[in-house]
Structure 1
């Protein structure tokens, strides 16, 4: 299908997709959305970067009724980073429909998660272990579940999650639609899926052709590993990419490369397994906001992380696993955009690179790169201008919904025994605001947030600096 209008979606969902600039469904979306709308079980082979998160998020959000206060969908993912990404996608698509999505992760206080779940949620995105914790405590009721999704199901069963998945599956109602997504599908995985789903449709999206069309792949022959750093700089100065991800095979190599580039004034950050989860989230968020333009990474983000508009991927080291190569270059050329991937191949990496060409069925062109001092000066000027431009855009426009929805901050929360009904009552008494203008409400310990819909948020903030909630004065402002 060449339009989301052909899927018979709710008006609010279509409006959100238009605001988010989702114009033409990707191949995986065209094939998956109609099946999930009909609540049929599926196994989907589709690599990252093809729009698969939206492929299940759109039917989920479409199925949930406005103001419904039941858990209707559970999405299980293998990593914290992917969980947060999927939650963001669901919240954006379901925002005008007031869909509430909770993320349930390990290494975070169970008590806070239980309190959030008690407020009501429509969708849970969770890692397996923490989901089992909640099921064992009875803090999650799956009785009304319409959809059960596992993303990166191949990774689940190669990383030791099979027992956890079996435990979760025992709690899934027979009436729930099940959809499993995987970058790779072999006979073993099909056998496992046969045990979970009696009748399911298998969909295989031809991403190899998509990658060939969207990603320009080249490689540079480098005699020795120690010469790669100079070649790397040549590539950056010559191509002048707006944003670059550089992949290394080891944490140590990432650290060395980071220190070298930092000392030469490149706007660079590093991310690998020794970086804390919180720091990783901060770095990825900063990269998305264009606060720096080069990210050095081990394979920790080669898979499952959605970063828009990556101009160039550089394989500083060649992976011995060809599948990792495909995941790496899939960080660019996303959502129908063009991208470039350049590999630096030393003599002792030639065999691995030849295996990659066989695996991808693609003869990759070799190139030579030379630059002059003028290229270096132009690169530095270009990056400075780009960062200034994005800083201005960030200050001017914080929200893709462009005033259609404004999130407000209310300076009162759980510690004052405030409930969602108290917030609704307070805002419903405001002239010009009706219940239909109130979106997702979340209450935290010391504050609350509310989405004001229908372009009424700005006027409300201009007219009011505080409101009365449960006989208590509360200051209000726009949530940043």
Structure 2
């Protein structure tokens, strides 16, 4: 029985990265999936929610990547931009010390920026089907060396109408690949996809999920629609969450709830489909950095938010898709911590709640609205905690790999600098070898290089500039 990550016989750099990420013991989905993917066997994983899902395919992919080969060797298909960014970040962290480079491509992001990144050494590409297909058709993404393909949240792909694009991408990749499909449900169309494009796939049904583990307390309150604003504020005061997400079904409702909370001087922000991608990314970074307390969001945020300090989820509107309920409340109660999920249920929401109870297999407890005494007592605590949040603007994001320093180089493509030039320059500096040089990222006017093994600070103290291709260029620590 697998109990520790070192029992998978992984590359020592991967084991070090996994330890730096704080992964103590493998989750059930990791114990089940990783051995099959390490043996390059196709798998179909039926699991209601994540619980370490990304690492279950990210670890074996990084293990099998040949870093000497600069070609793309793995493709990961995801339904949303938020999930693409989350998967990229986690795989990037898992593979960073092994020097595995991961890129994310998705819509509503500058196309040329993605082209620039794909032209560099990239081993893993994660993206949404439409944008991936676009890059493939234009010749920006070459699939000749792809040996791993992951289809993540296949049921969501189907619901969003992406399945035909997924099939077209599958048709572009050679048959001698390992395929992994992850889905909360396996409807007929997903089942047909598996039959047509996978070979002797092992079916893994992971019975462990956020609900069965008992980390999340689920409750609901019967309310009239016109009472919801008042009840939500009362709940925020009485529950006094460290951080909370309020879910709505439409972007119009998100905007209304956001404005209502602002009028109550509650530190809040919003995420919905009308926002630019850059603004959505900045909002999520601010949420991670504890710069505000309450995020109001549509389901677009339910998949791909992995923030450990979220203590509460409030369903301002009951989701009409049963699976969405599980993904929403899965934003709390993470990493063994306790979480609370409270739904505001109007008369028209009742039928959706009953469908959810049937889906999750248990009755959700009905509770009364908070008492005036609890609201008044909690309001003071809530407002005091908001002051602490407000003072954390610009707090530094937690560093995963403390012995890695990213260095900014004042020169890039315009100075005809190549990755090989940067590698040669830094590996010839005192106290550095090629093993100490990590991922290199060359942009038009500047470049970045990871210095590994705790040697970056020493290099920055010793050198203010270095010589690349016979020219002096300034270096400094990359800004956070």
Shorter-normalised TM-score: what interval? Answer: over 0.9
What's the counterpart of residue 254 of structure 1?
A: 254
What's the counterpart of residue 340 of structure 2?
A: 340
Alignment of 1:126-145 (within 5 A): 126-145=127-146
- CA offsets, 1:436-476, max 9 Å, x none? 10000000011100000000011111111111211222111
Work out whether 1:373 is the aligned partner of 2:376.
yes
Change beyond 3 A, Cα 1:137–1:353: closer
Alignment of 1:26-41 (within 5 A): 26-41=27-42
With 113-122 and 168-177 compared, the bigger mean Cα shift is at: 113-122
Instruction: Look up the SS of the partner of 1:353 in the other structure.
Output: helix
CA distance in 2 between counterparts of 1:145 and 1:88 reads 20
CA distance in 1 between counterparts of 2:466 and 2:90 reads 31
Offset of residue 129 of structure 1: 2.2
- CA offsets, 1:394-424, max 9 Å, x none? 34x652212x101111111111111011111
What's the counterpart of residue 234 of structure 1?
A: 234
- For this pair of structures, how many residues does the alignment match? 475
What's the counterpart of residue 471 of structure 1?
A: 470
Change beyond 3 A, Cα 1:316–1:262: same
What's the counterpart of residue 215 of structure 1?
A: 216
Offset of residue 42 of structure 1: 0.8
Offset of residue 200 of structure 1: 0.4
Change beyond 3 A, Cα 1:382–1:458: same
Change beyond 3 A, Cα 1:233–1:137: closer
Change beyond 3 A, Cα 1:309–1:47: farther
Q: Which runs of 5+ in 1 are unaligned?
A: none
What's the counterpart of residue 157 of structure 1?
A: 158
CA distance in 2 between counterparts of 1:17 and 1:450 reads 21
Alignment of 1:9-408 (within 5 A): 9-208=10-209, 210-211=211-212, 213-222=214-223, 224-368=224-368, 369-370=370-371, 371-386=374-389, 388=391, 394-395=395-396, 398-402=398-402, 404-408=403-407
Offset of residue 110 of structure 1: 4.2
CA distance in 2 between counterparts of 1:373 and 1:112 reads 51
Instruction: Look up the SS of the partner of 2:172 in the other structure.
Output: coil
What's the counterpart of residue 7 of structure 2?
A: 6
CA contact (8 A) 2:88 2:104 kept: yes
Change beyond 3 A, Cα 1:319–1:166: closer
Offset of residue 108 of structure 1: 4.0
What's the counterpart of residue 417 of structure 2?
A: 418
CA contact (8 A) 2:93 2:400 kept: no
With 165-174 and 18-27 compared, the bigger mean Cα shift is at: 165-174
Instruction: Look up the SS of the partner of 1:424 in the other structure.
Output: helix
CA distance in 2 between counterparts of 1:108 and 1:259 reads 27
- CA offsets, 1:334-369, max 9 Å, x none? 233321101112233223222221221111122222
Aligned-pair Cα RMSD in Å: 1.9
TM-score (norm 1): 0.94
What's the counterpart of residue 443 of structure 1?
A: 442
